[in-house]
Amino acid sequence: MDSIRHADDGWNSTVHVNDPPPEKGFNALRARCLSEGSLFEDPDFPANDFSLYQSAPPVSAHGPIGWKRPGELVDHPKFVTEGYSRFDVVQGTLGNCWFISSCASLTSHPELFERVVPQDNGEFEDARYAGLFHFRFWKYGQWVEVTVDDRLPVNEDDQLLYISSSVADEFWGALVEKAYAKLHGSYEALTGGTGREGLVDLTGGITEFYALKGAEPDDLFEMVERSLARRALVTAGIDADEQGRLERVNLVPAHEYSVTKVCRLEPGRHLQLDLGGEGDGSVKLICVRNPWGGGEWNGAWSDDSVEWIAVTEEKMAELNVGKEDGEFWMSFEDFVTYFDDITMCRQCPSLLSDAQRSCHPWELVSRKGEWKRDSTAGGSDGQSFWRNPQFLIELPASNACSAGARDVDGDRNVRVTLGLMQKHHRARGTNLLPMRLLVYPISEHVAIGRKRLGETFFEDATPVDSEPVRFETSREVIVRYALPAGKYVVIPHTWKPRQEAEFLLRIFAEGRVIDLGEQVMDVERRCENLLWFSLTSVAKLVRRVVKFVTDFWNNCLW
């Protein structure tokens, strides 16, 4: 397993940009175009069907598709008009609301936005304009730079086919979408996804996902409130609607929204009338935005609802109530009723400012590894489970002094979030494997060298989870714990043995986390392992030969 990031590293090493070859870098390409007096045309993502579709083009409901530069669509195009906001990105005909909602959330965080959208892109009317722009995305453990030309797909009425802006002459949203499509092979490859994917790819952060409908934590509102205060990005999703109940309240089924704010209205201070609400009379509200730029909730606390009569004018002005911009307020109770999940993306320590790091002393360790057939792909089977990669960490006792979590006995624990991401090629449409993470405590009497913990250890060991951990077929699996100080072994594994894939393991801890490395298989056990697989393969071959001969003989007799 290769270590790729450590918690104490700074920007220069932790947020590494995987630059293209010098001759294909943004500055070199721009300089060449300026010297030649030409506008850039991207040979790797051309203005044709190759860039639109993963396979053969479907019959288009939008008529002929053309490609035009912003200067051919409006008189005075702008890359960014008077700053950027969540209202700048409006979804087009592509089914990528999950990416749009993530982009909308990103605009509330200037330091993150400017990492994805570098400020040296310039404007269309600058002397440096050469028809190209560059962007950065986080992909499988590192930041990747993507350069594109500014030819955008349009319909026969010269309207942008995909992302547009609420301001007609602004184009940063359409161009960041094009760069993301290039990263994944085509625009069509962006169809269907989750807010978790979009948030991680735009920040390199680690997500917390919660199902609603009775499965949410009791303090979910407070968790969302804390997450937004700590600069987390938040999205919420709605599943398919089989009973038509969403249409009545003007919500969109199978759709992803961004969560922008929460608010607690207090009686006497914000409320002029008693509306019931919580035990103290307060009302919890949440602000949600539809990436379409329209289509707002029409229930309680919507723009024109009677509930606002009880709220002071000052508070209403502060909450920006009444604009038809796709953003709306609703009670937190209704939110939990109508939405199906919520995702909070926490920024990694290296992406926080010094002030933020001092307030929230979290650290991150990341490692790459793989499940390899006949070697480290042990699956969940009891006899081969120990063959899975084993990753040792230590949570020092000093963490417990500052950590805030306590167990039932009042002892201080360390909050830890672990993420297991399998390498996924969206452009190829490859299937994801069911996988999970198990964490085992290592007692002091267990001798730890560099050799892998054997089968006997796992026969007696019990994972830290109080209930069985489910397998998930998703790009990244996240688990959260509050653990006592000590040593632990982390086991990433698939459901079935002998399934091959590469993975990225990330451990996000409150306080210090010591990387003790991967436990390697010693030569004796490796030989034993290979011998076992070899004998198994020979036995299977013998059985097949016997069956073939028997079937052949029976057919001849018949």
Percent of residues, the chain, with pLDDT higher than 70:
80
Instruction: Give the distance, in angstroms, between the CA of residue 278 and the centroid of all CA atoms in the same chain.
Output: 33
Are the CB atoms for 357 and 511 separated by under 8 Å? Answer: no
**Domain 361-521 classification at class level:** mainly beta
Region 109-124: mean pLDDT is: 92
Are the CB atoms for 188 and 95 separated by under 8 Å? Answer: no
Are the CB atoms for 349 and 363 separated by under 8 Å? Answer: yes
Predicted confidence band at 12 (pLDDT cuts at 50, 70, 90)?
very low
Instruction: Give the distance, in angstroms, between the CA of residue 335 and the centroid of all CA atoms in the same chain.
Output: 22
- Between residues 48 and 544, which one has the greater pLDDT? 48
Is the pLDDT confidence value at 29 over 60?
yes
What does the block give as tokens for 492? 């990433």
Region 343-362: mean pLDDT is: 62
Region 149-172: mean pLDDT is: 94
Q: What is the pLDDT of residue 241?
A: 75
Per-residue three-class SS string for 442-454 = ECCCCCCCCECCC
Predicted confidence band at 123 (pLDDT cuts at 50, 70, 90)?
very high
Instruction: Give the distance, in angstroms, between the CA of residue 16 and the centroid of all CA atoms in the same chain.
Output: 18
In the chain, where are the structural domains located?
Answer: 7-203, 206-345, 361-521, 526-553
Nearest CA-CA partner of 341 in 514, 232, 485, 208: 208
Provide the mean pLDDT of the chain: 83
Is the pLDDT confidence value at 536 over 60?
no
Is the pLDDT confidence value at 113 over 60?
yes
Region 7-14: mean pLDDT is: 30
Q: What is the pLDDT of residue 552?
A: 63
- Between residues 15 and 145, which one has the greater pLDDT? 145
* Half-sphere exposure (Cβ direction) of 60: Cα atoms closer than 13 Å: 18
Parallel, antiparallel or unpaired: strands 390-395 and 405-406: unpaired
Q: Distance between CA atoms of 27 and 17, rounded to whole angstroms? A: 15
Q: Helical H runs in 312-433?
A: 313-319, 332-338, 354-359, 397-402
Is the pLDDT confidence value at 445 over 90?
no
Residues 6+ apart with CB under 8 A from 71: 77, 124
Nearest CA-CA partner of 50 in 67, 26, 71: 67
Q: What is the pLDDT of residue 406?
A: 44
Is the pLDDT confidence value at 77 over 50?
yes
Is the pLDDT confidence value at 535 over 70?
no
What does the block give as tokens for 16? 């590494």
Q: How many helices (H) and strands (E) does the chain have?
A: 15, 21
Q: What is the pLDDT of residue 86?
A: 79
Q: Is the pTM of this model over 0.75?
A: yes
Q: What is the CATH number of domain 206-345?
A: 3.90.70.10
pLDDT digits (tens, 9 = 90+) for 86-105: 778 889 999 999 999 899 88
Region 304-327: mean pLDDT is: 88
Is the pLDDT confidence value at 407 over 60?
no
Q: What is the pLDDT of residue 269?
A: 84
Percent of residues, the chain, with pLDDT higher than 90:
49
Beta strand extents in 242-348 (DSSP E only): 255-265, 283-289, 327-331, 341-346
pLDDT digits (tens, 9 = 90+) for 173-207: 999 999 999 999 999 999 988 888 999 999 999 88
Q: Helical H runs in 320-430?
A: 332-338, 354-359, 397-402
**Which residues have a catalytic role annotated?**
97, 255, 290
Nearest CA-CA partner of 202 in 83, 89, 287, 109: 109
pLDDT digits (tens, 9 = 90+) for 226-242: 888 888 889 999 998 76
Q: Distance between CA atoms of 379 and 356, rounded to whole angstroms? A: 40
Report the range out of 270-279, 355-364, 471-480 with the highest average pLDDT. 471-480
Residue 457's identity, in one-letter code, is: F
pLDDT digits (tens, 9 = 90+) for 411-424: 578 889 999 999 97
Q: Distance between CA atoms of 88 and 1, rounded to whole angstroms? A: 41
Is the pLDDT confidence value at 405 over 80?
no
Least confident of 129-133, 197-201, 318-322: 318-322
Cβ burial, residue 551 (10 Å; 0-12/13-18/19+): exposed
Long-range contacts of 223-227 (CB under 8 A, 24+ apart): 223/344, 224/259, 224/262, 224/286, 224/342, 224/344, 225/262, 225/264, 227/344, 227/346
How many CB atoms lie under 10 A from the CB of residue 421?
A: 23
- Between residues 355 and 461, which one has the greater pLDDT? 461
Q: What is the pLDDT of residue 413?
A: 86
- Between residues 535 and 109, which one has the greater pLDDT? 109
